[in-house]
Amino acid sequence: MSASSPRPSTARVAVGPILPNRSSSTVIASTVLPLLGCPAVRRLWQRLRTAGRSRPGAASGRHASRRARAKVQVPDVQTASCPCGAQHSVIDVRRSRLDAGDEQGEETLTTTDALQDERTRVLALQRLGVLDSSPEERFDRVTRLAQRLFGVPTVSITLVDADRQWRKAFVGLDGPVAQREGAFCDVTIRADRTLVVEDAAQDATFADNPFVVGDPHLRFYAGHPIAAPGGELVGTLCVIDTRPRRFDDADRSLLRDLALWVQGELQHDVELDRAGAVQRGLLPRRAPELEGYRVAARCLPARGVGGDFYDWTTTADGAGFVVADVMGKGMPAAIVAASARAALRPALRSPSLAAGVETADDLLAPDLEEVGSFVTAWCATVERDSGRLAYVDAGHGLASVLRPDGGIHRLEADGLPLGVAPGTARVVHHVTLDPGDRLVVVSDGLVDLLADLGVPGGDPRLLDPDVPLPVPDGPALARAAREVRQAGDAAATLDVLVGLAEGRYVGDDLTVLVVERVAG
């Protein structure tokens, strides 16, 4: 809804039975009219209530004639302009008889567009999942910056709930919760534009506002609305002062830019949640039942939610495994990951693993080219009885076999990622998993984590505990390396590797797959 052509908000009535012999009454109430938070609507509402009490002949009970009761009365209408730019009408519908022979009768109350819009708006706010959440530096930073830029004592990122205001971040206020009725931010979201009140005490609309005559004794207000992903206006970024101020076009533009920054953060959260749901849906629910083997895997999504996933399936003589990583983050990466999983799973059951991966590459290439992405993938099959592992590495390069004696065999990697050169012939490599061996495949999230911990180049090899590292986390990494080598099974190995991320910022998804061939 644009500020130049606001949509009129008309209050009408709902449907409900009315008992006979009752005096007429005004049927609109605050429970069915969310616009009562608007100063103009509150004044109209009060006029109707006063008129309803003083109207002569308002009663229409059993003493009224049958003919008179059969007439549908014309509702009274009060109309006024609102500071938000809309034209609001409040309708007082008196008791009316739709059927003179029905002692119960009915009073028709049509649900308002405004009510439905408000329900949709509040639902959109709730779906953001931010109400009553803990403080976050990314939002606190915006309020501090706005305070410095505008030189005001008070700034707030305010979300307007059904019956309250809740502040995600603020400076210069006592707490996160305030009433919605009479709130300047409520007017701002209905205006769908920047609202500036340079001196509230001299403004006829706001002079008697509870936030002006009472705490925080507001004189200056400027706020810009914040929208949910669907366009519903859910809150504002506002700057406030207890003395009058001037606010020019440059100030308005700056406030709008800061509000859009906050809006982008909130909407990005929604995209990440959706992408995370897609990503979680790609992961298998249970490990394959493969006699003589233990399988464990985990994917720790980073805040940026990328396109990591792992998959497995049983085959005629064993099982197949995939660990893949889509370049990119958010919903686009998650969608590509879903396509990659669908294309690669048949490859694990193909008579030729190389041909299966080549087919998957051809299928994915057009979509990957269109979005400018690619997929690194490690695909393998293992024969249950022999332990013979066949694998194709498509640009992944992060797989090793841990021997029972502590030795590490890094698996060869010589292929290009999927989508880079479709039509390229894929090479199948082989290695045998002997009893006691553990296959460990990780994503580059572990490489990034090791680099952050000080390992030169983020070397993804499991570290040699006998070689001291001249980095702050060197002893901890050496201890982790020993624990990996001493881990008794696949699950313990997985726990040690994933444990490296505990209490640390992980900038990329961290995925680990461990396949152990059980000894004797």
Instruction: Tell me the three-class secondary structure of 289-321, residue by residue.
Output: CCCCEEEEEEEECCCCCECCEEEEEECCCEEEE
- pTM of the predicted model as reported, rounded to 2 decimal places: 0.50
Q: How confident is the model at residue 19 (pLDDT cuts 50, 70, 90)?
A: very low
The mean per-residue pLDDT over the stretch 245-251 comes to 96
Instruction: Quote the pLDDT of residue 268.
Output: 72
pLDDT, position 41: 54
The residues facing 449 across adjacent strands are none
Higher pLDDT residue, 231 or 99?
231
Rg of the chain on CA atoms, in Å: 33
| pLDDT tens string 310-332 | 899 999 999 999 999 888 766 67
> What number is the average pLDDT over the span 272-301?
75
| pLDDT tier, 440 (very low <50, low <70, confident <90, very high otherwise) | confident
Which residue do the tokens 């999927």 mark? 418
Most confidently modeled range among 51-55, 144-148, 273-277, 500-504: 144-148
The average pLDDT across 473-491 equals 51
Which two three-digit tokens encode residue 504? 């640390």
Does pLDDT of 216 surpass 90?
no
Over residues 338-353, mean pLDDT: 92
User: Cα separation of 98 and 416, whole Å?
Assistant: 77
123-273: which CATH topology? Beta-Lactamase (3.30.450)
Which residues in the chain are classed under CATH 3.30.450.40? 123-273
- pLDDT-above-90 percentage for the chain: 37
Q: Which residue has the higher pLDDT, 256 or 26?
A: 256
Kindly indicate the confidence band of residue 275, based on its pLDDT and cuts at 50, 70 and 90. low
Q: Between 305 and 368, where is the model more confident? A: 368
State the pLDDT confidence band at 98, using cuts at 50, 70 and 90: very low
Highest mean pLDDT among 6-10, 20-24, 488-492: 488-492
Q: Which token pair is 355?
A: 């041909």
Q: Which of 482, 468, 464, 473 is nearest to 501 (CA)?
A: 473
Which of 45-59, 119-133, 147-161 comes out lowest in average pLDDT? 45-59
Binned at pLDDT 50, 70 and 90, residue 145 comes out as very high
Segment 355-362 mean pLDDT: 96
Fold of 283-517: Phosphatase 2c; domain 1 (3.60.40)
Task: Answer whether residue 135 shows pLDDT above 60.
Answer: yes
How much is the pLDDT for 24? 31
CA-CA distances (angstroms) from residue 324 to 84, 159, 341, 402?
52, 39, 8, 21
Mean pLDDT score across all residues of the chain: 73
The pLDDT value recorded for residue 482 is 53
Q: What is the pLDDT of residues 368-405, one digit of tens each?
A: 988 888 999 999 999 999 999 999 999 988 888 888 87
Higher pLDDT, 248 or 118: 248
- C-alpha dist (Å) from residue 459 to 164, 387, 456, 472, 503: 52, 28, 6, 16, 21
pLDDT of residue 91: 46
Residue 323 gets the label, from left (phi > 0), alpha (psi -120 to 50) or beta, of: beta
Q: Which of 86-100, 141-155, 256-270, 289-303 has the highest average model confidence (pLDDT)?
A: 141-155
pLDDT of residue 484: 54
Say yes or no to pLDDT of 90 above 50: no
Measured CA distances, 42 to 47, 182, 238 (Å): 9, 9, 23
Please state which of the ranges 95-109, 183-197, 386-400, 416-430 shows the lowest mean pLDDT.
95-109
Cα 506 to the center of its chain, rounded Å: 19
**pLDDT computed for residue 68 by the predictor:** 36
Domain with CATH 3.60.40.10 in the chain: 283-517
Q: What is the pLDDT of residue 143?
A: 96
pLDDT of residue 313: 92
Please state the rounded mean pLDDT for residues 28-51: 48
Question: What confidence score (pLDDT) does residue 376 get?
Answer: 92
Lowest mean pLDDT among 63-72, 173-182, 445-454: 63-72
Token pair recorded at residue 58: 């308002």
User: At residue 415, does pLDDT exceed 80?
Assistant: yes
